[in-house]
Amino acid sequence: MRHINVPVFVPHLGCPNKCVFCDQRAISGVSYFSEDDACAVIDETLTTVGDGDECEIAFFGGSFTGIDRDLMIRLLDLAEGYVKAGRVTGIRMSTRPDYIDPDIIGILKRYTVRAVELGIQSMNDRVLALSKRGHTAADTARAAGLLRDAGIPLVGQMMVGLPGSTPRDEVDCAEKICSLGAAACRIYPTLVFRNTELCEMMNRGEYVPLTVDEAVMRSADALSVFARHGVGCLRIGLCDSERLSNDGDFVAGPRHDAMGELVKSELYRRAMKRELDSLEKEGKLTGSVEISVPKGDLSAAVGHKGRNRAEILASYPINSIVFLEKHSILWYNVEVRLI
């Protein structure tokens, strides 16, 4: 069964926050969001899903629990109508940690809310302050606790490459998201968009965006933490449909259409290297090898444009590699056998 999010983008009109990377503030105050449009978008998306698909209406794009309260409730009522009609199985939303409080939880509990995606971004207060997020790591811990007590699953969204953030901070953030009980995560390398404070910081030489390679390494470090804790990753990198503004607003940073695949490939590269290094140390590595990877991850293991395969063949005394998929292997693990 496929899980499908039916996305409804609700811009946070008049958002009072000033996150340095955010280009949604440029459109704040423009009330182009229409509830009729929401219905049309949901209906249209639902025509494209299969009978066996599990669909959820997903209020993304801003801080859903921070928008006008009446509008939020009307949208929840609208979405619940689709749940009651059996057309979707639930509702999810993205929001900020400081927009979760007991009142909001009380409202969400009246609806079939399957997950709240928190824009945690970092668990380091210095990084949060440099990014002008306007909330602290303690706000995130408190919000996660409220969601946990209410039985609402948490999806933790984090960023890599924020101003002042180090690889260590990002691994630490991933560890803390796991310890807060997240059911899943999303990892977003920081991008620079026009009309953002981050763009001005970059132009003043105060911020240097990550390269694609750096973003891949740092996202892979975070992903390996999530994988170790059994926390699934829903997405790595923004997809165009997650953005509200134009493609032309992208200025700089590690944007790559296959960012998720590159990051997964990096974890497979590390896993294969570990196994092959150990065989080589024992003096057993020769001839051909069979590398088994989890079902569905063959292309990630072979690498973008065959990069992992080429690197292994160039680095070890072997003639050929046969890749296999096996159900029994856990995410980002491999089995290597000499053949």
Helix 35-46 × helix 69-84 angle, to 10°: 30
DSSP 159: E
Smallest separation (angstroms) from ligand SF4 to the CB of 19? 3
Smallest separation (angstroms) from ligand SF4 to the CB of 63? 5
Smallest separation (angstroms) from ligand SF4 to the CB of 8? 16
Q: Which of 117, 55, 114, 49 is nearest to 82 (CA)?
A: 55
Q: Which is nearer to ligand SF4, 15 or 177 (CB)?
A: 15
Q: Which is nearer to ligand SF4, 105 or 118 (CB)?
A: 118
CB environment 271-285: b (16+ within 10 A), e (fewer):
bbbebbeebbeeeeb
For 302, list phi and psi in degrees, rounded to 5. Answer: -65, -30
Smallest separation (angstroms) from ligand SF4 to the CB of 28? 7
Q: Which is nearer to ligand SF4, 229 or 243 (CB)?
A: 243
Q: Which is nearer to ligand SF4, 9 or 268 (CB)?
A: 9
Smallest separation (angstroms) from ligand SF4 to the CB of 326? 41
CB 149 within 8 A of CB 198: no
Q: Which is nearer to ligand SF4, 45 or 245 (CB)?
A: 245
Q: How far apart are CA 258 and CA 238, in angstroms?
A: 10
For 140, list phi and psi in degrees, rounded to 5. Answer: -65, -45
Pinpoint the alpha helices (H) of 47-183: 69-84, 102-108, 125-130, 137-150, 167-179
Strand order of the sheet with strand 184-189? Answer: 3-9, 54-60, 90-95, 113-121, 154-160, 184-189, 232-236
Smallest separation (angstroms) from ligand SF4 to the CB of 22? 3
Q: Which is nearer to ligand SF4, 18 or 110 (CB)?
A: 18
Residue 292, beta-bridge partner list: 324, 335
Point out which residues bind ligand SF4 (CB under 6 A): 12, 15, 17-19, 22, 24-25, 62-63, 96
Q: How far apart are CA 111 and CA 162, in angstroms?
A: 34
Q: Using the structure block, give the residue that is written with the tokens 């509200």.
A: 244
Smallest separation (angstroms) from ligand SF4 to the CB of 137? 16
Measured in whole angstroms, the distance separating CA 183 from the mean position of its chain's CA atoms is 12
Q: Which is nearer to ligand SF4, 67 or 312 (CB)?
A: 67
